[in-house]
Amino acid sequence: MFPERFSNLPAYAFPRLRALLDPHPAGGPVLHMSIGEPKHPFPDWVGPVMAEHAADFGRYPPNEGTPGLRGAICGWLNRRYGVTLDPERQVMALNGTREGLYNAGMALIPETKNGQRPVVLMPNPFYQVYMISAISVGAEPVFVPATAETGHLPDFSSVAPEVLARTAMVYLCSPANPQGVMASAEYWADLLALAEKHDFRIVADECYSEVYRDAAPVGALQVAAKTGADPERVLAFHSLSKRSNLPGLRSGFVAGGPESIARMKQLRAYSGAPLPLPVQHVSERLWGEEEHVAASRALYAAKYALADEILGHVPGYMSPQAGMFLWLPVPDGEAATLKLWQETGVRVLPGAYLSKAQPSGTPGAGYIRVALVAPFDETKAGLTAIRDCLFA
């Protein structure tokens, strides 16, 4: 016996990519541009600080994060967004944001909304954990197109009123993976107003907030504070994976209303795994430092400029405002991915693998996602191969 709700899921994006490409030989030296795994250096003190605290592997760590770590997170939120949060009640350390994005649904989506099955709204294309969180609690995931027509952000106000009446939670990623666009203060304010009107909670996935070109993206908590929104309306998620180039550290946090955070803490006290204490110590210091973050941002800025130079002529090309991806229009994303692999050895991801097929079409089908994570020269070789193979 197996649960039916997970039985018809497509394979996850990366096994799907391997199934598409691996039966065929690479057409050149293999260049990985499919996974958003940061490759820039992380601070060289990370290992020594971890080693200094190695004895703490012998202790069970505190569930919600040490006071030092929660204090450092609140300090960072204050410097970055000008918001003041209570470190005791409004933040919780996470093993990377993915577990928190999943468990937010578990902890916070009610069994029914207005007497009906609850709905979880999410952009399409989207980070796949949003959908699994909804399905896990028996809610209905509803996919809202985030396409060129909508400015690559979902237009949640276009959702039918009867669906909004059932909506318990909305996921929004800003800066957006994969499109690299950022929600403006007006966009967040409108979404907060919609949340207030229809009584739902916003999960703001802001793990790319520190990887931007010119202007730092505004944050959901910042706009919520400015507009005087109910603090329970928003949960913001941040990660050291992208900010500090430490995806293997597994360290992030969630911040939001005290009641929502208390419920997430309680769920994890029963069922989850807190961050090992040495990881908490390293994380505390990382949230207090900005130099390495700025250095990494400068490396991305050089690669955005490189992409503009090499691929700027492609019809529909979007220069990324933020994040670590190019969202590149092609006639057929899957066919382009295979052609690129077979002719050049460059691995990218078909946009359809990040999208949900809808009766009206699959929003990402006409795109490939290109990760700009590798060093400059390797990225240049990859982008040049993409141009010559797909856009000559």
Ligand X SMILES: Cc1ncc(COP(=O)(O)O)c(C=O)c1O
Q: Which residues bind ligand X (CB under 6 A)?
A: 36, 96-98, 127, 173, 177, 205, 207, 239, 241, 247, 252
> Least distance in Å: CB of 23 to ligand X?
26
> Least distance in Å: CB of 315 to ligand X?
27
Query: Which residue's CB is nearer to ligand X, number 251 or number 344?
Result: 251
Query: Which residue's CB is nearer to ligand X, number 177 or number 280?
Result: 177
Query: Which residue's CB is nearer to ligand X, number 328 or number 354?
Result: 354
- The tokens for 46 are 């990370």
- The tokens for 304 are 């955005």
> Least distance in Å: CB of 94 to ligand X?
7
- The tokens for 355 are 């999208």
Query: Which residue's CB is nearer to ligand X, number 94 or number 164?
Result: 94
> Least distance in Å: CB of 251 to ligand X?
8
Query: Which residue's CB is nearer to ligand X, number 144 or number 173?
Result: 173
> Least distance in Å: CB of 173 to ligand X?
5
Query: Which residue's CB is nearer to ligand X, number 39 or number 98?
Result: 98
Nearest residue to ligand X, scored by beta-carbon proximity: 96
Q: In what order do the strands lie in the sheet with 325-329?
A: 325-329, 367-371, 349-350
> Least distance in Å: CB of 115 to ligand X?
32
Query: Which residue's CB is nearer to ligand X, number 96 or number 118?
Result: 96
Strand partners, 193: none
Across 234-263, b (16+ Cβ under 10 Å) vs e yields bbbbbbbbbbbbbbebbbbbbbbbeebbeb
Distance (Å, rounded) from C-alpha 303 to C-alpha 321?
Answer: 12
DSSP string, 292-339: HHHHHHHHHHHHHHHHHHHHTTSTT----SBSSEEEEE-S-HHHHHHH
The CA distances from residue 339 to 281, 330, 336, 391, in Å, are: 46, 12, 5, 12
Query: Which residue's CB is nearer to ligand X, number 249 or number 330?
Result: 249
Query: Which residue's CB is nearer to ligand X, number 97 or number 260?
Result: 97
3-state secondary structure of 162: helix
- The tokens for 303 are 């690669």
Query: Which residue's CB is nearer to ligand X, number 13 or number 385?
Result: 13
> Least distance in Å: CB of 324 to ligand X?
9
Q: Taking a C-beta distance cutoff of 8 angstroms, is the pair 364, 333 a contact?
A: yes
Q: Supply the angle between the helices 220-227 and 185-198 in degrees, to the nearest 10.
A: 70
- The tokens for 256 are 């939001």
3-state secondary structure of 84: coil
The sign of the torsion formed by the CA atoms of 377, 370, 97, 70 equals: positive
> Least distance in Å: CB of 249 to ligand X?
9
| Nearest CA-CA partner of 219 in 318, 76, 101 | 76
Residue 113 DSSP label: B
> Least distance in Å: CB of 205 to ligand X?
5
The single-letter code of the amino acid at 311 is L
> Least distance in Å: CB of 298 to ligand X?
21
290: burial class by Cβ within 10 Å (0-12, 13-18, 19+)?
middle
**Pairing outcome for strands 31-32 and 346-347:** parallel
Cis amide leading into 178 (omega within 30): yes
> Least distance in Å: CB of 97 to ligand X?
4
Query: Which residue's CB is nearer to ligand X, number 125 or number 382?
Result: 125
